[in-house]
Amino acid sequence: MKNYQSGAKPRSGTYKENKMADLSTKYMGLKLANPLMVASCSLSKKLEGIIRIADSGAGAIVLKSLFEEQIQKEMVEDIEKHIVPSWHSEAYDYVEKMGMELGPREYLGLIEEAKKAVSIPVIASLNCVSTRWWKDYAKQIETAGADGLELNIAYMANDMNKSGSDVEKLYFRVLERVKDTINIPVAVKLGPYFTNISQFTSQLCRHGASALVFFNRFYQFDIDLEQMKLSAAGPFSSESEMRLPLKWIAQLYGKLECDLAASTGIHSAESVVKQILAGAQTVQL
């Protein structure tokens, strides 16, 4: 168990002065006033929510993820609304390429606005499917002023022709190419479904990850027996899910060359304290 100490020096005065211990920490090389972060969520996709988060005392914030697939979907829908039947295929390709390049403008604007509005570190989150856009969007995110970048790779290993090693190499390749493109610190948010998490996380750190986030939640579905059709499972985590990151953070603490962040199922102050005691530098709420 981590021997957690605030590191605060004794202060003069009485309890009535309402002076708190020094809860500051470092994450990805960034100085945080406290280890409480707000994870990528709907609250962090608008400036109003970001300001509320900062005013509530969060140590840092992870913006809602920028998804390449969402940009592609919106771009294709827009082209289909305005496409001229006589367009040459090269014209379509040009418009498609331009749409992908201009797609993240709103997200980049949010980064710029957030940096002006709050003093806490602003960490962007990125999910792409193609190598080019991992690099391109990462560079644009850095230029917009983000303090760090969280790679939300979230690859669903459902291809029977790919080995566990193939999946791990995909993560390494994405991380290396992003690291070669930008200078801000990079975290990797990973899921729990790997053959050997201890070895895999060690390799991620060696490939340049400044931090690892435990864990991603993949989309889950249910079956509606009344309607006899698929339905979405609850989008929110349950408190019992915090035990999985707790287990792995405790097991990996002190063995890796990068920071550890806990995520998923953290719904109470008690859960936060447990994750920190286990070894997490930060806890994402």
Assigned token pair, 126: 């990125």
- pLDDT, one tens digit per residue, over 155-185 is 778 889 999 999 999 999 999 999 999 999 9
- Helices 131-144 and 105-117 pack at an angle, to 10 degrees, of 30
Give the H or E element holding residue 270.
Answer: helix 269-278
Q: Which residue has the tokens 């090269």?
A: 90
CA distance 179 to 3: 32
Q: What are the structural domains of the chain?
A: 24-68+107-284 (3.20.20.70)
Amino acid at 208: G
The number of residues in the chain equals 285
Beta strand pairing call for 211-214 and 186-190? parallel
- pLDDT, one tens digit per residue, over 142-156 is 999 999 999 999 777
Which residues of the chain register pLDDT less than 50? 5-16, 73-82, 84, 86-102
